[in-house]
Amino acid sequence: MEEDERDRTPCDLKVRVERNVRDFVDEDVDLFATPVGSDDEDDNEGDGYLTYKKGSGELRLRQAFDSLHAFKQAMVDYVLKYGWNVKYIRWDKDKSELKCASEAEEGEEACMWRIYCSYEAPLQKWMVKVSNEDSTVELETLYGDDDEDVFYRFYVCFSALKKTWCAHCRPIFGLDACFLKCTTKGQLLAAVGRDAKNQMFPIAWAVVEVESEDNWVWFIEKLQVDLNLHDGEGFTVISDRQKGLLNAVSNLLPMVEHRMCARHIYANLKKNHPHRTDMKGKFWKVAKSYNIAQYNKRLDQVKAYNMSVYDSMMMKNPKNCSLAFFTTSSMCDDVSNNISESFNHAVDPARAMPLVEMLETIRSRAMLRIEARKLISKSHRGKFSIKAMEKRKQEDYMADCYLTSTWRKQYETPIEAVCGITFWEKSEDARIIPPPTAPEQSRGRRKIPKRIKGRNESPSKKKTKDRNESPSKVSRERRIIHCGRCGEGGHNSRKCANVGVPIQRPPKKKNVTQGEGSSQQPQSLVFE
């Protein structure tokens, strides 16, 4: 029975992942098909694919075949010409994959040669593709009590994402962490960039046990290599003021422009000064000052407004979140890290799933999002992206990073399809033990308890479970309404048929400021 359950688990997981991303697909859009490319070589047919010459034995990326049998025959030609030993690891009705079958000698690395061919709906042909070369995936484990490998942390940065960001995106990205909501204790770290439409462009993400300086150092070290950040010169990072993150960025990227999220700074000011409702406008004027003179003037206004608020603001160094001190290399005037918050919101349903299912769902959603944005950018006819035109009407003053052509380049390279869960190879290494289970009360972000209301405050207006009514109000059930015109029951004044009856106005309430000698006003009669 246990063996049957183990065999059934991959299929069940695959079904759950497909169900998780089903609602994410736009209607009437086939997001699983790779759109036809426009940059083709001399031997293409003008439709974004390469033709195969029978008997040549030359296999190339984006070669198209009329059937899988034709692809199989091309593989025979390839093997006979070069004398390589290959074997099929997948053979379905719409896809096929082969890899090198030669065994590595002792001390040598195994050959990583693979070829993958699957059906392309727009072409109605089978095309040779590649599966995410140069992607960075790292899994770290710890030794458990019984010398078992226990999951510690996981990092992934797909090749399509990092290469596209380096080549076509602005040199700015946000860093943030969010809690996992499943039984696993941990947090999700993410680096998120911006596309030409100023929407989020996920770059890399990781699962760690806790948001600490050590984990942020490990995550940023991976980004340094994948994104060629070096010491950070010419790049911009935007984040909150988490201490471990600040220290990691300062030590690893000493030359980077590190912006602080203005929204988080204002949230801290609001906690320290909860009754200063007019403080919000003054703070955001400081954050959105476009030059130093304007910044100093608005800061003086805060100082004249309240010295305590001014001192609290200066402790956070508002220069780190003000437009007046931002460099122009990032081509971005954002003063908050809302892009990272958007990513956290987008993956929120996945954060409540088991670890493997969560990572598979995030990957699948990222793939679908790239294809959806590709179709949107292809259909746009303006010179610049939609958000750029909404913000600036003068095209002569727009940077090239907002061009529609740049927008299309950012989504022309998809995350390639990988083997399904059913085809995952079984590793010869030791079995990895899941991370510790988080207590029920500690899963996700800790909820702030509600304030207990005083005796003289109005009670809660929450609906009861059994009846759609408020426990603080008298029930309207079986209550007979009375007309405000004629006083009869069963109808209101709008449906009253007694025309000509004087309207009976309710008596005015006694004014408490009139004193004890004041008398109640007589009831007025109005005839219609």
pLDDT digits over 418-435, tens only?
Answer: 766 776 767 666 678 887
Report whether 407 contacts 385 (CB < 8 A).
Answer: yes
Report whether 362 contacts 205 (CB < 8 A).
Answer: yes
Under the banding of pLDDT at 50, 70 and 90, the label for residue 320 is very high
- Collapsing DSSP to helix, strand or coil, 280 comes out as helix
Q: Is the pLDDT of residue 192 over 60?
A: yes
Q: Which residues of 37-76 are buried (b: 16+ CB within 10 A; e: fewer)?
A: eeeeeeebeeebbbebeeeebebeebbbbeebebbeebbe
Taking residues 179-197, report their average pLDDT: 91
Please state whether the predicted TM-score (pTM) of the whole model is above 0.95.
no
Side chain identity at 339, as an amino acid letter? I
87-101, 361-375, 508-522 — which one is most confidently predicted on average?
361-375
Taking residues 344-353, report their average pLDDT: 90
Selected residue with higher pLDDT from 262 and 476: 262
425-463 per-position pLDDT tens digit: 676 666 788 877 776 655 555 666 666 666 555 555 544
Taking residues 130-144, report their average pLDDT: 82
Could you tell me which residues come within 8 angstroms of residue 454 by beta carbon, excluding any fewer than 6 positions away?
Answer: none
State the burial class of residue 435 (Cβ atoms within 10 Å of its Cβ: 0-12, 13-18, 19+). Answer: buried
3-57 per-position pLDDT tens digit: 444 444 555 666 777 767 665 444 333 333 333 333 333 344 445 678 888 888 8
Distance CA 216, CA 209 (A): 11
Torsional class of 311: left (φ above 0), alpha (ψ -120 to 50), beta (otherwise): alpha
| pLDDT on residue 466 | 47
How far is residue 397 CA from its own chain's centroid?
A: 30
| pLDDT on residue 480 | 81
Name the one residue in this structure whose structure tokens are 């979140």. 321
| pLDDT on residue 314 | 93
Length of the chain: 528
Distance CA 14, CA 356 (A): 11
Q: What percent of the chain has pLDDT over 70?
A: 74
Q: Is the pLDDT of residue 518 over 50?
A: no
Please name which of 255, 265, 241, 243 lies closest in space to residue 171, comparing C-alpha atoms. 255
Token code pair at residue 294: 């304007």
CB atoms within 10 A of CB 111: 15
Taking residues 182-198, report their average pLDDT: 91
Q: Is the pLDDT of residue 284 over 80?
A: yes
Under the banding of pLDDT at 50, 70 and 90, the label for residue 326 is very high
Selected residue with higher pLDDT from 426 and 78: 78
Residues paired with residue 127 on neighbouring β-strands, in sequence order? 64, 118
Distance CA 195, CA 385 (A): 10
| pLDDT on residue 388 | 81
Report whether 100 contacts 119 (CB < 8 A).
Answer: no
| pLDDT on residue 22 | 60
| pLDDT on residue 499 | 66
| pLDDT on residue 502 | 65
Taking residues 318-329, report their average pLDDT: 92
376-434 per-position pLDDT tens digit: 999 998 899 888 887 767 767 788 889 999 999 999 888 877 766 776 767 666 678 88
Side chain identity at 338, as an amino acid letter? N
| pLDDT on residue 28 | 36
Taking residues 82-108, report their average pLDDT: 81
Average pLDDT, the chain: 80
Selected residue with higher pLDDT from 438 and 510: 438
| pLDDT on residue 10 | 53
Distance CA 274, CA 286 (A): 19
Q: Give the largest CA-CA distance in the chain.
A: 115
Report whether 171 contacts 235 (CB < 8 A).
Answer: yes
Q: Of all helices (H) and strands (E), which one includes residue 326?
A: none
211-252 per-position pLDDT tens digit: 999 999 999 999 999 999 999 999 999 999 999 999 999 999
Could you tell me which residues come within 8 angstroms of residue 285 by beta carbon, excluding any fewer than 6 positions away?
Answer: 298, 301
How far is residue 203 CA from its own chain's centroid?
A: 10
| pLDDT on residue 434 | 80
Distance CA 5, CA 187 (A): 29
